[in-house]
Chain A
Amino acid sequence: MRKLGAVFRREFAERVRTKWFLVATLLAPMLFGMLLLAPLWLASRSKPAADVDHIVIVDATGRGLGQQVALDLAGGLQGGEPRARVREVEPGELSQALPVAAREVRERGARGYLVLGADFVTRGTARYAGANATSSLDMQRLRRALRDQLTAHRLEGLGVDAREVRSITSLDIKLDAERLTREGAGERGSVTAAFAFLIAIVLYLTIFMYGQNVMRSIMDEKQTRVAEVVVSSVPASTLLAGKVLGVGAVGLTQMTLSLLASLAMFRARAPIMTALGLPNVPIDLPALAPGAAVLLLLYFLLGYLFYSALFAAIGALVNSEAEAQQVALPVALLLVLSAMFIQPVLMEPESTVARVMSMLPFSAPIMMPLRLSLVPVPAMDIALSVLLLLSGCYLAVVFAARLYRIGLLMYGQRPGVRQVLRWLHEAGR
């Protein structure tokens, strides 16, 4: 036990003492912060450009619709002075008016010109030429102004009262999407999805990172030949356990520190957001029930155990970094495969794919937490998934322990699959 402690302490202390640990620990909350702020920033960007109405309108409708559109673009009656310059022309003069409009756009530095032909009223066709023609948000804004004004014009033509018309066309729909949980409490759907995604990605990254860390630690001992002295002093299983626990503790420490730093940043968000020029709107944090938090931790620990055991076996088998990359590929692919299914499962957390992926030991550590944070998962599903994952861990650890001791002292050529199988068989005797 004391020896296990010595191995554990070395793995833990040597890692925590590095500059990288500090950098990574501080970087994570910044990343979290950015992930939280990104939607706000995107939201502030998902409006049409402020000068979308800085255009020239060539109006050949003969009904003053150009003026109406200009007013609409400026924000309606309550808006400011319309910036769009309207040129009313006869339908016959349209072809001559266009080069004039183009020149005016150039001279005034406007965004473009909008052409309302004589058939706009009957067929609703218009034309726009401008620098922002590819901006879908700007075009959406123009289209809406055109549609609203044409609708108003037609309604008036049908004899509807002008005020009625305005109240009809200015109708704004707000859709508030809420997630339904078992308790019936509502949460904002988009926030939940983002949070679930974040959890899955963080799990994926940390399991990958610390699993590889264990592999590297074993490779290092093998390459520097320290392994022989160490293995002569402690049983290989103690050494392996100390390593996995030590590196795992580093992972937990790092995540705890990152979480605390993130919380601190969240508390002090007001000045940060002001500094970034973002509106200080309240950010909803999804509530995480204590039970869910425990499950999350469990999946992280088991997932880490499963993958670090596999990576440990690889570390013991290879002789160089280049070899390790090659041999670790199948294990890494299992993990990457799980990550690739994050998006589909996010979309359909109740699908068969989602259910199967949250059961298989290699993908469950990522998929089950993802599902758990999206939809209510039956307790039976969770129990079965944990059970399968536990068995997977057991097999992985036995596999790793058998290969570890033999592989550690084998230098030179990398063993082939057949030899590895032989070792596994022999070590099992």
Chain B
Amino acid sequence: MTATSTPAIEIRNVTKRYEKHVAVRDLSLVVPRGSVYGLLGPNGAGKTSTIRMILNIIAPDEGTINIFGAPSAGTNVGDRIGYLPEERGLYRKMTVRRVLRFLAELKGVRRKEADRRIDEWLDRLGLRDEAKDWGAARVEALSRGMQQKVQFIGALVHEPELVILDEPFSGLDPINAQALKDTVVELKRQGRTVIFSTHLMDNAERMCDAVCIIAGGEKVLDGALADVKGNGASHHVAIALDGGSPGAVAELLGASPHVAHVDDQNRFFEVELQPGADPQALLHALVGAGVRLQRFELMQPSLHQIFLRQVGATGVEPGMTGQG
């Protein structure tokens, strides 16, 4: 196997048990090099446990994990990984530059090189200009948004080949969320591998090349995004209303013999048709009922729908999984 064909991460039959429950059960997955990989699942699905095992923070009870072809335990492979944990935090009393220098040194970057990169990042994320150098400020003096940026620099300052982001979007304001998306895209262009966990399907759908859906510690589905969506191929219709009463339309759809399932999002509906049903018949029925349509589009099921269908109501704590 050549170096380029070795997957970034290869997890084989990994199980992790805690005192009262099994966090991860017989999980196997492969993250190809240079891909953006989504680890999807409801809260408590075992995403963080999986990530911690990849990072060798905790050890699996069974199974093996290889990073770039080498076992994750006992090697210095950690220096090639950047990690943004879900629970974020920095030394509050230290200055930003010292914290970042420390984090870089922990990854084996020499001090001088670290300082150069830190300044680059501070400039880039708007934390340093002629008026103010936030690098010299204590972490506790920074706003939450700025602290998130610093944390983000900390995960990337050693230019890792593999970047692992655990729930990176939680708690981000729209501006930082956009900055994060831009950075992920750039990392991918540079040929790096990015793996992130989320329960926000919209982000995953837009950004990921491949995904793995886990629930209750077990893999439900994985593969390239196109395959995953192809697997779930059933005809779905997106319907957007142009005014009118959504309630009446919802009733109409619910009663229609063509419809298997409706995801009612008030002004927008994602409809799964009965097997063999003709979408044109549904369109006809809607227009016949005087519904004004803005959009009626045949589509692949959204990741959100696939997720809900695969994980099912049982795997999701109520209110925990949302779209967008």
Once the chains are docked, how many angstroms separate the CA of A232 from the CA of B83? 8
A3-B106 in contact (CB<8A): yes
- Known contacts A409-B52, A422-B19; A232 and B90 CB within 8 A of each other: no
Binds A, one of B30-38, B91-99, B121-129, B304-312: B91-99
- Known contacts A224-B91, A224-B92, A228-B57; A233 and B19 CB within 8 A of each other: no
**Shortest Cβ distance from residue A213 to the other chain B in the assembled complex, whole angstroms:** 14
**Shortest Cβ distance from residue A214 to the other chain B in the assembled complex, whole angstroms:** 16
Cβ of A226 under 8 Å from chain B: yes
Q: Scoring A residues 410 to 424 as 1 if CB is less than 8 Å from chain B, else 0, what string do you get?
A: 010000000100100
Residues of A within 8 A of B85 (CB): 225, 228-229, 232
Name B's A-contacting residues (CB within 8 A): 19, 52, 55-58, 78-79, 81, 83, 85, 87-94, 98, 102-103, 105-108, 154-155
Further pairs besides A6-B105, A6-B106: 19, Cβ < 8 Å: A10-B98, A14-B91, A14-B94, A220-B91, A223-B89, A225-B89, A226-B89, A228-B57, A229-B83, A229-B154, A229-B155, A230-B103, A230-B106, A231-B57, A232-B55, A232-B56, A232-B85, A409-B52, A411-B87
A233-B93 in contact (CB<8A): no
In-complex Cβ contact of B57 among A220, A226, A232, A411 (8 A): A232
Within 8 A of B (CB), among A378-422: 409, 411, 419, 422
Summed over the interface, the residue pairs from A and B with CB atoms below 8 Å come to a total of 64
Residues of A within 8 A of B89 (CB): 223-226
Size bracket of the A interface? 20 to 34
Q: Scoring A residues 205 to 231 as 1 if CB is less than 8 Å from chain B, else 0, what string do you get?
A: 000000000000000110111101111
Once the chains are docked, how many angstroms separate the CA of A13 from the CA of B56? 29
Residues of B within 8 A of A221 (CB): 91
Residues of A within 8 A of B94 (CB): 10, 14
B90-A224 in contact (CB<8A): yes
Residues of B within 8 A of A14 (CB): 91, 93-94, 98
B91-A3 in contact (CB<8A): no
Q: Scoring A residues 1 to 45 as 1 if CB is less than 8 Å from chain B, else 0, what string do you get?
A: 011011100100110000000000000000000000000000000
B91-A226 in contact (CB<8A): yes
**Shortest Cβ distance from residue B309 to the other chain A in the assembled complex, whole angstroms:** 33
Cβ of A234 under 8 Å from chain B: yes
Cβ-closest chain A residue relative to B158: A233
Q: Would you list 21 pairs from A and B whose C-beta atoms are within 8 A, ordered by A residue? A: A2-B105, A2-B108, A3-B108, A5-B105, A6-B105, A10-B94, A223-B89, A224-B90, A224-B91, A224-B92, A225-B85, A225-B88, A226-B90, A228-B83, A228-B85, A229-B85, A232-B78, A232-B83, A233-B103, A233-B106, A409-B52
B102-A10 in contact (CB<8A): yes
**Shortest Cβ distance from residue A163 to the other chain B in the assembled complex, whole angstroms:** 79
A233-B92 in contact (CB<8A): no
Residues of B within 8 A of A231 (CB): 57
**Shortest Cβ distance from residue A386 to the other chain B in the assembled complex, whole angstroms:** 34
Residues of A within 8 A of B98 (CB): 10, 13-14
**Shortest Cβ distance from residue B144 to the other chain A in the assembled complex, whole angstroms:** 14
Once the chains are docked, how many angstroms separate the CA of A6 from the CA of B52? 23
Cβ-closest chain B residue relative to A7: B106
Once the chains are docked, how many angstroms separate the CA of A223 from the CA of B81? 24
**Shortest Cβ distance from residue A2 to the other chain B in the assembled complex, whole angstroms:** 7
B87-A228 in contact (CB<8A): yes
* Nearest 5 Cβ contacts at the A-B interface: A225-B89, A6-B105, A224-B89, A233-B106, A225-B87
Once the chains are docked, how many angstroms separate the CA of A308 from the CA of B93? 22
Cβ-closest chain B residue relative to A3: B106
Residues of A within 8 A of B155 (CB): 229
Residues of B within 8 A of A229 (CB): 83, 85, 103, 154-155
Once the chains are docked, how many angstroms separate the CA of A221 from the CA of B85? 14
**Shortest Cβ distance from residue A421 to the other chain B in the assembled complex, whole angstroms:** 12
**Shortest Cβ distance from residue A160 to the other chain B in the assembled complex, whole angstroms:** 81
Once the chains are docked, how many angstroms separate the CA of A224 from the CA of B83? 16
Residues of B within 8 A of A409 (CB): 52, 57-58
**Shortest Cβ distance from residue A241 to the other chain B in the assembled complex, whole angstroms:** 14
**Shortest Cβ distance from residue B164 to the other chain A in the assembled complex, whole angstroms:** 9
Cβ-closest chain B residue relative to A415: B19
Once the chains are docked, how many angstroms separate the CA of A400 from the CA of B68? 33
Cβ-closest chain A residue relative to B154: A229
Interface centre among A3, A14, A226, A411 (most CB of B within 10 A): A226
Once the chains are docked, how many angstroms separate the CA of A83 from the CA of B79? 89
A233-B90 in contact (CB<8A): no
A6-B57 in contact (CB<8A): no
Cβ-closest chain B residue relative to A418: B19
Once the chains are docked, how many angstroms separate the CA of A231 from the CA of B155? 13
Cβ-closest chain B residue relative to A422: B19
Cβ-closest chain B residue relative to A411: B87
Interface centre among B55, B89, B93, B94 (most CB of A within 10 A): B89
**Shortest Cβ distance from residue A220 to the other chain B in the assembled complex, whole angstroms:** 7
